[in-house]
Amino acid sequence: MMQYHIRRPWQLHESRHTPESVWNNRRQHRREFLQSVGRSAAAAGLAGSLIGCREPATEEEILSAGSETTAPLPGAEHFPAPRNPMFEYGREETSRRDAAEYSNFYEFTTSKEVWRYIGDFQPVPWAVTVDGLCRNPQTFDLDDLYRNFTLEERDYRFRCVETWAMCVPWTGFTLRELLQKVDPLPDANYVAFETFDRPEEAPTRRKSTEFPWPYREGLSLEEARNELTLLATGVFGQPLPKQHGAPVRLVLPWKYGFKSIKSIVRITLTKERPPTFWNEAWPDAYGFIANVEPDIPHPSWPQTSEWMLGTRERHETVRFNGYGEFVGHLYPA
């Protein structure tokens, strides 16, 4: 297997780690600091010298980042979709701002501030090709995705292997519905997913040759047909913003977040287990199944507890992220 020498963001030198307590208070301290400096500077007529000191970004800046360079996503009239009452968080909902501010999208950056790097990304027009071992391969454009599937809203918990978690309402349809349209052949065992691959629109994709681009993921056909497996086209009652994986991404609430591939362009039915991005990059740390399992630590993070974006509230991690009643039968002990 090829070896990748990736300098991962969590491999910072000790001296560059931010202790959690410092991070917790960062926004508050920064605001107070800027306010106090702002008052003295204004008094001294030195406001111009503050260039480089940025206020924390506003919700508007984070959510509209990159929109000035992009055609608006079509389909706004399909939102909000009817809420499916079967799915509830059992926790407080994460704010739209907190969810959009802190994310992972390696094609753009290895930092969490993806929204700062998405200006060149063009999610319109878009098409998703579904092919491989099926009787009726098809390509769906955005209009097809919004119009020809049963859009609904589901509140899901979401858990990243880095131990952050959130609760957000996704809009989408089941992958099962899409698979019915293409009609898998009997020898299809797996479903492979692939992200867009346009280096000119994505800075890390362009510069970092050590990653096994494009980002790819995979599921067994049984997992793909599970009731929980959602192809999301929206979040918080609106089309997906770029940082959340516009215009269409996978959401798998019982698996670690890296399985929920964003900005999908191809879905292929295969006989053999497909290669996946993180498993290729670091096989010892990232498995193919990657279910949320509190008793199986990742080399960089114990998995026994998690913290919520925004509030930083800690919770004990629950097996399958609490979705055992839907998926437990897929993984007999």
Which residue ranges make up the site for ligand MTE (CB under 6 A)?
103-107, 160, 195, 215, 244, 257-258, 260-263
- Give whichever of 160 and 228 is closer to ligand MTE, judged by the CB atom: 160
Output 188 or 249, the one with its CB closest to ligand MTE: 249
Give the whole-angstrom CA distance, residue 291 versus residue 27: 33
Residues 91/267, Cβ–Cβ less than 8 Å: no
Task: Between 205 and 327, name the residue whose CB sits nearer to ligand MTE.
Answer: 205
Closer to ligand MTE by Cβ: residue 184 or 245:
245
Least Å from the CB of residue 107 to ligand MTE: 6
Quote the least distance from Cβ 250 to ligand MTE, whole Å.
Answer: 8
Strand-pair partners of 217? 193
| Comparison of 244 and 266: residue with beta carbon closer to ligand MTE | 244
Shortest spacing between CB 259 and ligand MTE, in angstroms? 7
Q: How far apart are CA 4 and CA 63, in angstroms?
A: 34
Measured CA distances, 233 to 28, 84, 108, 154, 254 (Å) = 34, 15, 20, 12, 19
Return the number of other C-beta atoms located less than 10 Å from residue 59's C-beta.
13
Q: How far apart are the first and last CA of the chain?
A: 29
Q: Considering beta carbons, is residue 103 or 226 the nearer one to ligand MTE?
A: 103
* DSSP codes joined into one string, 61-103: HHHHTTGGGSPPPS-GGG-SPPB-TT---SSPPPPHHHHHHS-
Nearer Cβ to ligand MTE (37/57): 57
Tokens of 141: 């454009």
- Residue pair 106/261 in contact (Cβ under 8 Å)? The answer is no
* Least distance between ligand MTE and beta carbon 47 (Å): 36
CA distance 309 to 327: 25
**CA dist., res. 326 & res. 84, Å (int):** 15
Q: How far is the CB of 292 from ligand MTE (least distance, A)?
A: 12
Strand partners, 154: 170
